[in-house]
Structure 1
Amino acid sequence: MEKNLREIYGKGDRIELTISDIAEKDQCFGRLGDGAGVLVRGMLAVGDRVLAEVTRVKPTYLEAVTRALLEPSEDRVKPACPVFGVCGGCKWMHVGYEAQLRYKRKKVQDALEHIGGFSDMEVQPVQSAKRALHYRNKVEFSCSSKRYLMPRELDMEVLEKPKDFALGFHAPGNFEKVLDIETCYLATEDMNSALAVTRDFALEKGLSPYAARDHDGFLRNLVLRRSEEHDELMVNIVTSSYDAGLMAEYRDRLLESMPGRNMTIVNNVTARKNTVAVGEREYPVYGDGFIEERLGDLHFRISANSFFQTNTSQAEALYDGIMKMAGLRPDDTVYDLYCGTGTITLYLAERCRRAVGLEVVESSIADARENARRNGIGNATFCQADLKDFHTLLDSLEEFGPPRVVVTDPPRAGMHPKALRTMVRLQPETIVYVSCNPANLARDGKEICGWDYRLEEVRPVDMFPHTSHVETLACFKRTV
């Protein structure tokens, strides 16, 4: 609009509009009858007709918060979770799954067009998940002495649960308060059973919950992991100190409450002043202290603090997509940048002459080498390196020969500019870029194409149903 919107609208104005698109940071977008654009906060779906209140007036658009849903979209469904809208974990559970896939495809398409300038690239349909619920193989619960009260409890004289104990998820934007969760609909049934047993045991024994601000309390976290291949559960209870007798009682309670369940139990202990669920020391309580999982033909040993993709079946789909885009030949050398614990590198190594994984985290490199040993893969090499200094490693990597294929799976912030420039100077025929952030994929993709590459294929994979997150595979081919 040519007119300054501040001349027309003011803070507190009530407006009606229909949501036409999903925006970033839990916002949606719509337009008023006069063409003014509005960013609206609230759990909304494309097609919702809402009453909103203006919270900020910018020269060219408005910001608003939803006050009422006037007419629901056809994309809306009833959320399975009773704490939807309060828990920040599944912000798209009110949207039908097929609609979620459309939204995610459009999110990738829009980023490539508006940020990367790829106006002629048609993004493929999102590869859907086999299960939209109960799909996570790892769930991390926090314990707190400050329970986040549900809206219906605010006026109650007698609360439904103790106010000074919660085991669940942190309330959005609040590092102290935790929403007490009875059932997580992304966790499996046995994970939810272990959660219930742990809560009952903690309350019965009077275990003090952790207070983040005061750095006080015994019970800090409950981290649950599950192997689909072996139907095995890992229970990792994180505490501020070690009590062997108490852990023996906890073990017995779990085994009695979940008879026949194949499980291992560990106790991570930390005195750090943070809410990170990683221990400084680890004590085995029951079993081997690890679980094993399979991806394709590979087997991985997963300890309490190991990294592993949290959606096993979709990880296979993702890695199969990487293999297809890479188009490997038996005599190829492949580089895997930001390789983590080596899962992608080992997938690649089975189909090429040499796979080289590079990663900055020392413990991840150690896990990667152990995974290679356990799977009998001798043609995978792992190097610890900060990828921003990738150019300093090239002489030491000469023995493997130039890579025909490079796979890069950077963190959410995207590739470091120095790493990207070094990668394209290697002139691989094919670059497969694995992204968890469409905006940074578009930004880095534009840079890659400036070095005589073209974007040939884009395929999103839905690793995290009921969230706005989407993993994307992009294939770049050298043009000269």
Structure 2
Amino acid sequence: MAIHRVNTDDYPEQLQHKATRLREAFSAFTDLQPEVFPSPPEHYRLRAEFKVWQEKGRAHYAMYRQGEYKQPFIIDEFTVGSELMNRLMPQVLEAVNDSEVLRKRLFSAEFLTTLSGDALITLIYHKQLDEEWEAAARALQQKIGYPIIGRSRKQKVVLERDYVTERLQIGDKTYQYKQVEGSFTQPNGEICRAMIGWAKDACRDSEGDLLELYCGNGNFTIPLCEHFDKVLATEISKVSVNSAQENIRANGVTNLDIVRLSSEEFTQAIDKVRPFRRLKDIDLDSYDFSTVLVDPPRAGLDNDTCAMVARFPRILYISCNPETQLENLRELSKTHRVERFALFDQFPYTDHTESGLLLVRK
């Protein structure tokens, strides 16, 4: 069975349904209609992972319904994927099927692309990768013009590089980001641009300093630096912190420090519960934080972090799970009111909704 094109004619109605559902869910806390940021109806997804279904000596891209791993859905087109991804997919598959070395025991293929035209392909195997595989992969890399990575258990073979470079135009400025394979990046590039633009607009008249928790590779942090005197950001992933440091240098930012701490650890640090060696060069008392930006995982803010965040005059809360954001808002609404409210349609044609709130102290 093949997965064909999405029905783009249904998209406006589906998006309106999401907006209505989100407005009703938050109606106890705000009368605002959400600012709605639609996705492109096609070719919006910049990264994707495909299972590789092997049958009669041929490999096919496939996906599975949850719990149904014996019935693959063979993919002959993937119109939700970026145009670059769709251009590369058949080239990679043809090369795999022309090479026993590349095809044998291949079980997954990952594509990471950017709006600015970069790409990276990861081939994942149930076998150790040897010199013969490397030679075949280098030939494929030269043919398609983009880097290949090979992975198997406890093995990662990088032929050229393990990252892509994204360049995002936000207003009249272009921001450059190193995005490392396997680390988190926003999957919908145009929605990522919309989210950053919305956050910048919400912070346009800010004063003082910014704290950001869960900063990743600096996706929001770097564009927001121009609106604050100083910025301090935290992130727990070592890979993301290293990427963020490179992105700071690439964008010429001079008023931003990033430290590798979890939100729970930073809460302990700012409350002086215990010191952290990773903060030895950071004087927390020197900051005049006016705004905090949080973009937590689906679980939302833990109770201690939520209480800490409530001390700030302004809270910018980006969420990939409005249900947990709403749970946090029940506490935050005791001290703050909703100033702005947004819907970001990161995943069209699904029930998934992402939302943004600007909360201002009452």
User: What is the match of residue 460 of structure 1?
Assistant: 343
TM-score, L = length of structure 2:
0.86
Deviation of 1:142 (Å): 1.8
Query: Cα distance, 1:136 vs. partner?
Result: 1.5
| Deviations 1:60-94, CA, capped at 9 Å, x for gaps | xxxxxxxxxxxxxxxxxxxxx9626xxxxx9x858
Distance 1:457 1:193 in 2: 39
- Partners of 1:140 and 1:223 within 8 A in 2: yes
> Deviation per CA, 1:132-191, whole angstroms, max 9, x where unpaired?
10112212112245xxxxxxxxxxxxxxx6498542223333456543212111113442
Shift of 1:248: 2.8
SS at match of 1:339: coil
CA distance in 1 between counterparts of 2:135 and 2:84 reads 20
How far has the Cα of 1:269 moved from its partner?
1.9
Q: What residue is the counterpart of 1:393 in the other structure?
A: 269
The Cα offsets for residues 322-360 of structure 1, whole Å up to 9 and x where unpaired, read as: 12223443x521011111112111121122111111122
Residue 171 of structure 2 corresponds to residue 294 of structure 1: no
Matched residues in 1 for 2:47 and 2:355: separation?
21
Pairing partner for 2:259 from 380, 383, 387: 383
Aligned residue runs from structure 1 range 2-13, under 5 A: none
Question: Aligned partner of 2:17: which letter?
Answer: Y
Counterparts of 1:370 and 1:208, CA distance in 2: 33
**1:126 maps to 2:126:** no
Q: Could you tell me which residue of structure 2 aligns to residue 47 of structure 1?
A: none
CA distance in 2, matches of 1:405, 1:255: 48
Which AA in structure 2 matches 1:102?
A: Q
Q: Does 1:245 align with 2:128?
A: no
Query: Could you tell me which amino acid in structure 2 is paired with residue 104 of structure 1?
Result: K
User: How far did 1:414 drift?
Assistant: 0.9
Q: CA deviation at 1:98?
A: 0.9
| Residue of structure 2 in register with 1:48 after alignment | none
| Equivalent of residue 179 in structure 1, options 57, 69, 73 | 73
Say if 2:347 is the partner of 1:429. no
Q: Which deviates the most, 246-255 or 333-342?
A: 246-255
TM (normalized to structure 1)?
A: 0.66
Q: What corresponds to 1:137 in structure 2?
A: 46
Classify the secondary structure of the residue corresponding to 1:350.
Answer: helix
Higher share in helix: 2
Match of residue 19 from structure 2? 105
CA distance in 2, matches of 1:199, 1:177: 20
Is the CA contact (8 Å cut-off) linking 2:316 and 2:359 kept in structure 1?
A: yes
Task: State yes or no: 1:340 paired with 2:213.
Answer: no
Does the 8 Å CA contact 1:201/1:250 hold for their aligned counterparts?
Answer: no
2:108 corresponds to which residue?
221
Query: Map of 1:7-156 to 2, 5 A cutoff?
Result: 83=3, 93=7, 96-113=10-27, 117-118=28-29, 120-129=30-39, 131-145=40-54
Q: 1:366 to 1:208 in 2, by over 3 A?
A: closer
- Conserved? CA contact 1:333–1:402, under 8 Å: yes
From 305, 322, 325, the counterpart of 2:202 = 325
1:475 maps to: 358
How many residue pairs get matched?
A: 347
Does residue 307 of structure 1 match 2:163? no
> Which whole-Å CA distance do the structure 1 matches of 2:133 and 2:152 have between them?
17
Which residue of 2 is the match for residue 59 of structure 1?
none
Structure 2 distance, partners of 1:250, 1:189, is 23
The residue number in structure 1 matching 2:119 is 233
Provide closer, same or farther for how the CA distance between residues 172 and 94 of structure 1 changes in structure 2, counting only shifts above 3 A.
Answer: farther
How far apart are the structure 2 equivalents of 1:318 and 1:462?
A: 10
Code of the residue aligned with 2:336 in structure 1: it is: Y
Question: Could you list the runs of 5+ residues in structure 1 that have no partner in the other structure?
Answer: 1-80, 85-89, 146-160, 210-216, 273-279
Question: Counterpart of 1:156?
Answer: none
**Shift >6 Å, 4+ stretches:** none
Alpha-carbon deviations, 1:254-311, whole Å to 9, x = none?
A: 654x5xxxx3222232316xxxxxxx42321xx5553311123211122323332122
Give the Cα–Cα distance (whole angstroms) in 2 for the partners of residues 408 and 107 of structure 1.
23
Identity of aligned residues (%): 20
Matched residues in 2 for 1:122 and 1:177: separation?
Answer: 45
Alignment match, 2:298:
412
Tell me: higher relative CO, structure 1 or 2? Use CA pairs within 8 A at least 6 residues apart.
2
- Matching residue's letter, 1:269: R
Choose which of 389, 393, 403 in structure 1 pairs with 2:289.
Answer: 403
- Asked if structure 1 preserves the Cα contact closer than 8 Å seen for 2:102 and 2:137, the reply is no
Amino acid across the alignment from 2:129: Y
1:267 matched to 2:149? The reply is: yes
How many Å separate the matches in 1 of 2:285 and 2:254?
16
Q: Which residue of 1 is the match for residue 228 of structure 2? A: 352
Deviation at 1:419, TM superposition (A): 0.8
- CA distance in 2 between counterparts of 1:350 and 1:125 reads 24
Structure showing greater radius of gyration is 1
Distance in 1 (CA, whole Å) between partners of 2:99 and 2:220 is 44
